[in-house]
Copies of this chain bind each other. A is one copy, B any other.
């Protein structure tokens, strides 16, 4: 799919190295974001997103490698700022049963890679994510994959907004009941 080509192009840019300030700030930013999600601080979380955010999780299928990575023309999430806002407001009602009482999630941010487009100044951050969930008295459920973020500098340039997020899950069948969790 075309969005994959775009993501791959970004990944070809020279890496911003882990000991750099920029990588440090992005790392902090992503950890902060994960913490907000796990702490149910959804409104603060959404503030980290650009109003132009394109938030997407495509459906995956099992295909032969020669036929591609299995991302076809369908999604689990295809959100913009207003729909994310809707999700969050919904979670803040006391009636969003899938999360009332709330799940306990843990977002593990790992293997951060960062590139920077010298011309536009835009950053592309990709991580391996592991999200665990337990709710009520139930055992763990798990989500894994790669997440690609386009970040744009915010304010004095020391923080960021997420302008595009693409969540590439590893499973073709989501074995974890539902996707009431945000990524």
Identify the A interface with B (CB < 8 A): 11, 15, 17-21, 23-25, 27-28, 31-32, 34-35, 38, 40, 60, 62-66, 94, 100-102, 104-113, 128, 130, 132, 134-137, 139-140, 142, 144-146, 170-173, 175
Contacts and interface: CB of A to CB of B under 8 A. Distances in A.
Contacts of A136: 62, 172
A136 B20 CA distance: 40
B112 A110 contact: no
16 contacts: A15-B32, A19-B24, A19-B25, A28-B113, A34-B111, A35-B113, A38-B128, A65-B100, A66-B94, A106-B144, A108-B110, A132-B170, A136-B172, A137-B173, A140-B171, A140-B175
Nearest to A66: B94
A24 B35 contact: no
Chain A, interface SS category? mixed
A149 B17 CA distance: 20
A106 to B, nearest CB: 5
Given A35-B113, A110-B109, A111-B34, A104 B19 contact: no
Nearest to A143: B140
B128 A106 contact: yes
Nearest to A92: B65
